[in-house]
Amino acid sequence: MRKRASIFLFLMVGLMTLQAHNLKFNDKGHFKIIQFTDVHFIADDPRSDVALETIDAVIKAENPDLVMLTGDVIFGKPAEKSMRTILDQVAKHDVPFAVTFGNHDDEQGLTRAELYDIIKSYPNDITGKVEGISGVTNFILPVRSSDGKRDAEIIYVFDSHSYSDINGVGGYACIKFDQIQWYRQMSKQFTDSNNGKPIPSIAFFHIALPEFHQAVESESAPMFGIRKERACSPNLNSGLFASMKEMGDVQGIFVGHDHDNDYSVMWQDILLAYGRYSGGNTVYNNVEKGARIIEFTEGENGFRTWIRTRDGNTEQVVKFPESYLRPRK
């Protein structure tokens, strides 16, 4: 009985989340997302100024339909001023935005819940949360078709937590089983509502899955971009990737966390992609600051993605899955 009640709660919260947003493809049949990651902002620290410049330059250049911040937004005290400075910079562009947390956001004097309340004070914020499951920033953003009649893309957002709380296991935390169950239930609901056909989906969170390193280590997976460090993923694999394969809807997973990586690699027909480091000089980084762009075209399978840098350049322009398919011999 308790399990049924939990599933019912997931579904009800999911339905309320779906009704709360109005993202849709534009009249030209496009929907564009900017992923800023690892802003690592410290208020009143001049080393952080480049992050503000990056956010401003990329949004002006790309004119997105959604801005997604994938964790480690702040890296110093005072936490509220640091967070508000970044959100103010995004909000002035009058575009919907959402946030999921990284491992450093709640180390600056405010909890995830307190930071969430700050984020929710902004009119253009569409960050959500699901009560009763692990983490804070777990939510779903459906993107409606240009005519508004159906869900054309689904965006899943997960809180990937911080550090392992499993006895005897160090390193970074896994995405928890209850989060995976929530995803599976919601994915099934979308598929059922679409006459049994999975709706194309992507996912955002902060810490890379173990599959990121597994894909590169295989030396057979097509890859574009920069890889200067090993994927700093959890030491245990809780099975989110396997669930996404089984449900058949997620085409791309987008993370941050590893500042010197911005590569994208296709693994088991899912794109695993890092965002470009978007922050200032408060932590290590050896790449030009920027952001990852993801653009969907209505009615087309897959998506385009590229890196936009602070100085206006574009890099690694690819189309998924076409750019990652090896020619037949």
Q: Is residue 124 part of a domain?
A: yes
Nearest to 71 by CA among 43, 105, 42: 105
Task: Indicate which CATH number applies to the domain containing 15.
Answer: 3.60.21.10
- Residue 329 confidence class, pLDDT cut points 50, 70, 90: very low
Three-state SS at 328: coil
Contacts of 267 (CB under 8 A, 6+ apart): 211, 214, 215, 218, 221
SS3 content of the chain, % helix, strand, coil (to 5): 30, 25, 45
Q: Is residue 25 part of a domain?
A: yes
* 245-282 pLDDT per residue, tens: 999 999 999 999 999 999 999 999 999 999 999 998 99
Rounded CA gap, 276 and 180, in Å?
26
Q: Is residue 329 part of a domain?
A: no
Rounded CA gap, 101 and 112, in Å?
8
- pTM here is 0.93
Question: Has residue 6 got a pLDDT over 60?
Answer: no
Token duo for residue 116: 């969430």
Q: Is residue 142 part of a domain?
A: yes
Q: Is residue 92 part of a domain?
A: yes
Token duo for residue 220: 């057979």
- Residue 7 confidence class, pLDDT cut points 50, 70, 90: very low
Question: What integer is the mean pLDDT of 51-69?
Answer: 97
Please give the backbone phi and psi of residue 133, each rounded to the nearest 5 degrees, phi first: -125, 165
Nearest to 41 by CA among 96, 113, 127, 99: 99
The residue segments making up the domain with residue 181 are 2-324
Q: Is residue 200 part of a domain?
A: yes
* 74-132 pLDDT per residue, tens: 999 999 999 999 999 999 999 999 999 999 999 999 999 999 999 999 999 999 999 99
- pLDDT, position 42: 96
Please give the backbone phi and psi of residue 80, each rounded to the nearest 5 degrees, phi first: -65, -45
Q: Is residue 209 part of a domain?
A: yes
Between the ranges 4-8, 279-283, 314-318, where is the mean pLDDT highest? Answer: 314-318
Q: Is residue 69 part of a domain?
A: yes
* 120-171 pLDDT per residue, tens: 999 999 999 999 999 999 999 999 999 999 999 999 999 999 999 999 999 9
Q: How many domains does the chain have?
A: 1
